[in-house]
Amino acid sequence: MEEKKIVIFISGRGSNMEAILQNVEKAILKDICEVPLVLSNKIDAPGIKKAKKYGVRAVVIPSHKKKRSRFEAEVIRELEKIDFDFIVLAGFMKILSKHFTEKYERRIINIHPADTKQYQGPAGYEWAYENNLSQTYITVHYVDEGVDTGDIIAQKKIDLSGLGSLEDIKKRGLTHEHRFYSKVIAELITGKKFE
């Protein structure tokens, strides 16, 4: 099978991006996909350095104090320089417009730290903690112009029982995210089931 090309968009830490890059290098995503580009909308995102460590080209297109239409036009110009199949959002904190999401319809995916049907927004683990949930979900979904409203591709249940602090919840959730995102990407690309 021909490898698919995924571009990863980040805004911060980039731990999901790093997990994907590790899996492309030597695990579940090896020979399934390659990453021609990491794009950050934040100049100081720690994920940029991490991408470079893996030899991946990382480009910064700042969105701060810029009209969204201008930011997206710059992103599109960058994307048009390369060939790619999917855009993988990994902690990318900018809402993309209808124009952008329709241009790449069903080619943009995101990982969300909650059940998108129950909670939308960036604080999924805080929401689980504040509501004393004994379990939560992480969700991989297609991206449309809404905030975490796109069609769900896959979800994973996370057991939170016995976890006393928000830090513990985040740690457990993220560990699952790191495995789950790559598994779902592998399934999306190959059409096969992975463990």
Catalytic (active-site) positions? 112
Of 91, 127, 155, 186, the one binding ligand GRF (CB under 6 A) is: 91
User: Is 92 strand, coil or helix?
Assistant: coil
Min dist CB 111 to ligand GRF, Å, is 4
- Under the binding rule (CB under 6 A), the answer on residue 90 touching ligand GRF is yes
| End-to-end Cα separation, the chain, in angstroms | 19
CA atoms of 74 and 93, how far apart (whole Å): 17
- Under the binding rule (CB under 6 A), the answer on residue 13 touching ligand GRF is yes
Min dist CB 153 to ligand GRF, Å, is 14
Q: Which stretch binds ligand GRF (CB under 6 A): 30-38, 51-59, 64-72, 111-119?
A: 111-119
Number of residues in contact with ligand GRF, rule: CB under 6 A?
12
Whether residue 36 contacts residue 5, with contact meaning beta carbons closer than 8 Å, is answered with: yes
Helix, strand, coil distribution of the chain in percent, nearest 5: 35, 20, 45
Min dist CB 80 to ligand GRF, Å, is 26
Strand order in the sheet with 135-142: 58-60, 33-40, 4-10, 86-89, 108-112, 135-142, 152-159
Residue closer to ligand GRF by CB (options 73, 107) is 107
DSSP letter at 163 equals -
Kindly identify the residues of this chain, within the stretch 165-194, that bind ligand GRF according to CB under 6 A: 174, 177
Min dist CB 194 to ligand GRF, Å, is 19
CA atoms of 69 and 44, how far apart (whole Å): 22
- Under the binding rule (CB under 6 A), the answer on residue 150 touching ligand GRF is no
| Site residues for ligand GRF per CB under 6 A | 12-16, 90-91, 111-113, 174, 177
